Structure 1
Amino acid sequence: MAKIALPDLSALAVPGAEIAVRVTPRASRNGLVVEGAAIKVLVTVVPEDGRANRAVVELLAEALGVAKSRLTLIRGATARDKVFRLA
C-alpha cells in the first residue's frame, strides 16, 4: 500500500493547542485537506466502535509529526466536528 501524502501541520504542534477538524467517514480514500483555517479529515473506515476516531488520530498525529498518544479527543466523540488537544 502506498504512503499517503499529508500536509505538514507541524506548525500547529504546540503543547496545549486545540485543533478542530471536520471528519468524513466512509470516504473513498484517507487524507487531510486544509482549506484556509479548516482541517478536513477523510477516513475510509466506518464510524462504529470508535474506528473512525482512531483513524483520525493516526492521520492527524502523522501530519502534526507527533505521537498518537499526545492527541486527546476533547469534544465530538460521536459527531463529525471534533476538537483534539495536543499534550
Structure 2
Amino acid sequence: MQQPFDITIGEIDYAIFPEGNDTYVVFKDGKEYRHILKDTESQWLTLDPETALPLFGEDEEVNAIGREILAYVPEEEDEGEEQEDEEL
C-alpha cells in the first residue's frame, strides 16, 4: 500500500494517508480534516464522519486535493535507506 505523503495547495499543507480502495484520510493543520473518496478522475467525494457514506455535492477544495493526490509521484528511496528501514 502507498505510504503517507504531503501535498501543498496554495499556502495550505495537507498530509495524505491512503487507506486503499481510492479512500484517503486528509489532515490539515495537523488535525484530521476529512476522509475523501475518488469518484471519477476529476470528482472526489467527502465521506460522512459518522456513517462513512459519500456526501454528494461539488466541493472544489476536495477536488483540488484529489487532483494533487493523482499527480503525486512518490520519491524513490535509496537502497541504503531501504536496508536501514528493514533492519529496524
Do the two structures share a fold, i.e. TM-score over 0.5?
A: no
Q: Which has the higher contact order (CA 8 A, sep 6+)?
A: 1
TM-score when scaled to structure 2? 0.25
Larger radius of gyration: 2
TM-score when scaled to structure 1? 0.25
Higher strand share: 2
